[in-house]
């Protein structure tokens, strides 16, 4: 296994991680900003107020994007396992 192969595998793994985490992070960020604006407008300074809306948003994102996320991860893992003989030899 050459250093180029290791770097390629690491780059693909990091890109996959970014692709799978992006929908969850974007939803959490959007809900956090909206709750922050609401708290600033109403002067409610409750730290736990954003927990339930974020949890609901993340649940909705997992329900909507979950099948795509699982399919993408499964395809990557299958490709990785199938390439093991060529990586070793």
pLDDT of residue 31: 96
pLDDT of residue 49: 84
pLDDT by position in tens, the chain (length 89): 788 989 999 999 999 999 999 999 999 999 999 999 999 999 888 888 889 999 999 999 999 999 999 999 999 999 999 998 988 87
CB-count exposure of residue 73 (10 Å: 0-12, 13-18, 19+) = middle
pTM of the model: 0.82
DSSP-derived secondary structure letter, 1: -
pLDDT of residue 73: 96
In this structure, are residues 65 and 88 in contact, taking their beta carbons and an 8 Å threshold?
A: no
Instruction: Write out the DSSP string of 5-64.
Output: HHHHHHHHHHHHHHHHHHHHHHHHHHHHHHHHHHHHHHT---GGGGHHHHHHHHHHHHHH
């Amino acid at each position: 296994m050459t250093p180029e192969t290791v770097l390629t595998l690491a780059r693909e793994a990091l890109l996959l991680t970014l692709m799978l985490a992006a929908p969850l992070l974007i939803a959490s960020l959007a809900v956090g900003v909206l709750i922050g604006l609401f708290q600033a407008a109403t002067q409610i300074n409750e730290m736990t107020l954003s927990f339930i809306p974020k949890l609901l948003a993340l649940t909705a994102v997992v329900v909507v994007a979950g099948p795509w996320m699982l399919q993408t991860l499964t395809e990557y893992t299958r490709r990785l396992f199938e390439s093991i003989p060529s990586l070793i030899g």
